[in-house]
Amino acid sequence: MQWEVGSALNIASILVVVIVFAAMLIWVERRLLGFWQDRLGPNRVGPFGLLQVVADMIKIFTKEDWIPPFADRFGFVLAPTIIMIVILLSFSVVPFAPGVGIVDSNIGVLFVLAMASLGAYSVMLGGLSSDNKYALLGSLRAAAQMVSYEVFMGISLLGVVALTGSFDLREIVLAQEGGWFVVPQFIGFVIFLIAGVAESHRLPFDIPEAEQEICAGYHTEYSGMKFGMFFVGEYLGLVLISSLITVLFFGGWQGPLLPPLAWFFIKASCFIAFFILLRAAIPRPRYDQLMSYGWLFLLPLSLLNLLITGVVILSAN
């Protein structure tokens, strides 16, 4: 079997590595949060607590998978699968290294954005079909937040696309051989980072699931492996956003000495750690603050960024 983009071996290994990595993040996050709060975090199960994930998985698989009698069964079962499927599909266009990837689509960026939009359905359906007031409030918030942050998530990427002249993520990486896009597109990078956090609804933008306000938001009624899928889906989203930042702004697999995959891993891990640091440090904004911050500050800023990028490119030509 050949080791090239789209081969069966390639697809299988990417699928397994991504899911295992996302599951391991549960442990990584708990330990890092622990250190940042002057604690140790889980360090009992196995060396350094590495087998904590296995213990969690055994627990969550053997838990009762309960569907509330008042819930809409179809939507309730469908919702957690959507987020997993959608995010795993997004990974298909991510170029991990030369020869490692599933598809080199010439609409890669658009595909990722489309899948991110579909991810909103998972959260909305989950909250709606639960027939629970907290879940409904959570999905209301999720719908508003994700729809509004998607707008400038796309716009912030257009600068990169304009500089490359292609929607193909692999070509975007290759175009950064001379220098990472984070330098000319710094504002775009910051906006994409913020929108990415909001899109994967992690702290500080975990307003749809805010435990202190609305229980667990849209997954209040979920238990067992259905909850586990939401949970792992969130970490998959984290890995996806980190990979995308690496690909779009930090030159993907490019780097000296080390093999390309190692560079990709190092860069993506740095962003994952940064997202966890965000969770440890930044408090959650109020709901209306989030919305006005998005529409009144980030959207005009991303439009301005796009405008200036366009002017520079045109005048350079």
Which residues of the shown chain bind another protein in the complex (CB under 8 A)? Answer: 34-40, 277-278, 280-282, 285, 289, 292-293, 297
Shortest CB 102 distance to another protein, Å: 34
CB of 216 or CB of 245, closer to another protein: 245
**Residue 25 CB burial class (10 angstroms; 0-12, 13-18, ≥19):** buried
CB of 99 or CB of 285, closer to another protein: 285
If we measure between CA atoms, which residue out of 34, 57, 54 comes closest to residue 45? 54
Shortest CB 194 distance to another protein, Å: 10
Contact residues for 37 (Cβ-Cβ < 8 A; gap 6+) = 280
Query: What are the start-end ranges of the H helices in the chain?
Result: 8-36, 52-61, 73-90, 108-130, 133-164, 169-175, 186-199, 211-214, 224-249, 260-281, 287-292, 299-316
CB of 100 or CB of 187, closer to another protein: 187
Shortest CB 144 distance to another protein, Å: 17
If we measure between CA atoms, which residue out of 132, 316, 152 comes closest to residue 219? 132
Shortest CB 40 distance to another protein, Å: 4
CB of 2 or CB of 37, closer to another protein: 37
CB of 227 or CB of 275, closer to another protein: 275
Shortest CB 193 distance to another protein, Å: 12
CB of 35 or CB of 66, closer to another protein: 35
Shortest CB 281 distance to another protein, Å: 4
Q: Which residue has the tokens 């949060």?
A: 33
C-alpha to C-alpha distance for 4 and 201, rounded to whole angstroms: 34
C-alpha to C-alpha distance for 256 and 87, rounded to whole angstroms: 30
CB of 24 or CB of 278, closer to another protein: 278
Kindly state the tokens that stand for 142. 């999720």
Neighbours of 59 (CB within 10 A): 11
CB of 62 or CB of 292, closer to another protein: 292
C-alpha to C-alpha distance for 41 and 239, rounded to whole angstroms: 21
* Side chain identity, residue 235: Y
Shortest CB 282 distance to another protein, Å: 6
If we measure between CA atoms, which residue out of 188, 273, 202, 240 comes closest to residue 84? 240
Shortest CB 48 distance to another protein, Å: 13
Classify residue 7 by its DSSP letter: -
Backbone angles phi, psi at 97, to 5 degrees: -160, 170
